[in-house]
Amino acid sequence: MLRSRVIPCLLVHKRGLVKTVKFKSPKYVGDPINAVKIFNEKEVDELIVLDIDATVNQGEPNYKMIEHLANESRMPLCYGGGIKTPEQAQKIIKLGVEKVAISSAVIDNPKVLIDIANIIGRQSVVVVLDVKKNIFGSYEIYTHNGKQKVKRKLYDFIRELESIGIGELVINSIDNDGVMKGYDLTLIDKVRDSIDIPLTVLGGAGTYEDILELIQRHKIIGAAAGSLFVFKGVYKAVLINYIPEKIISVIRKISKA
């Protein structure tokens, strides 16, 4: 049965764990492997790891790092960064990763999703769309860490992705990245109304109440966050943490309602 999930999202830059603000100024916050070990102890629902260098540098996924992450992870792991071909996706799944996240390659050729799904299964195919609001209030898709605007209409494109057949869509708000002032609920409402496939949202969660509000609003949804789970307090001291069990219990009840 589908249920809501609370998902830490880790960004990897130059092999270190970083956190950005609006996709800029990456701040080093530790070692990815150590973070995975801590999240194991916290018994998190799922973990997303995104290598933000791979696509920009047009490099292969870092298979050695992925293997280390998969070997340490005791939770479902989704990896993204530099994946362009079915062969790369299959290699990553064989390393022990449950899902692969694809972004820029899908913009260039949405049909590649069919080839990837035929090899690893539709349930393991995740598409990540980084979006930003323009001066007219419309949302636009970007790639390459928010540097390249895509000439596709967001809602038309996500319906195209659904028709092709993907296991999950992740919507990442560039405007809200690292700001910690709440999710863009207007954006999420519109995306949720446009598709029926599993949806995860990222960008803006600053408190546990933000996550609760999102799940109360949409019931079955993935609530992902970065800063919330790596920083603590007003001065943003680095501390890997997760949502308390008492709030997890509330979320589980909401999902079943």
Average pLDDT, the chain: 94
Spatial contact of 50 and 99, defined as CB atoms under 8 Å apart: no
Q: Write down the pTM of the prediction.
A: 0.96
Spatial contact of 105 and 76, defined as CB atoms under 8 Å apart: no
**45, 53, 130, 184: which is the annotated catalytic residue?**
130
**Partner residues linked to 171 by β-bridges:** 129, 201
DSSP 97-153: -SEEEE-HHHHH-TTHHHHHHHHH-GGGEEEEEEEEE-TTS-EEEEETTTTEEEEEE
Per-residue tokens: 26: 């990456």
Residue located via tokens 């219990």: 249
pLDDT of residue 233: 84
| CATH class as words, domain 5-256 | alpha beta
pLDDT of residue 108: 84
* Per-residue model confidence as pLDDT tens digits over 164-208: 999 999 999 999 999 999 999 999 999 999 999 999 999 999 999
User: CA 97 to CA 151: how far, in whole Å?
Assistant: 31
* Per-residue model confidence as pLDDT tens digits over 35-64: 999 999 999 999 999 999 988 887 889 999
Is residue 115 annotated as part of the catalytic site, yes or no? no
Query: Residue 257: which pLDDT band, with cuts at 50, 70 and 90?
Result: low
In the chain, where the domains are located: 5-256
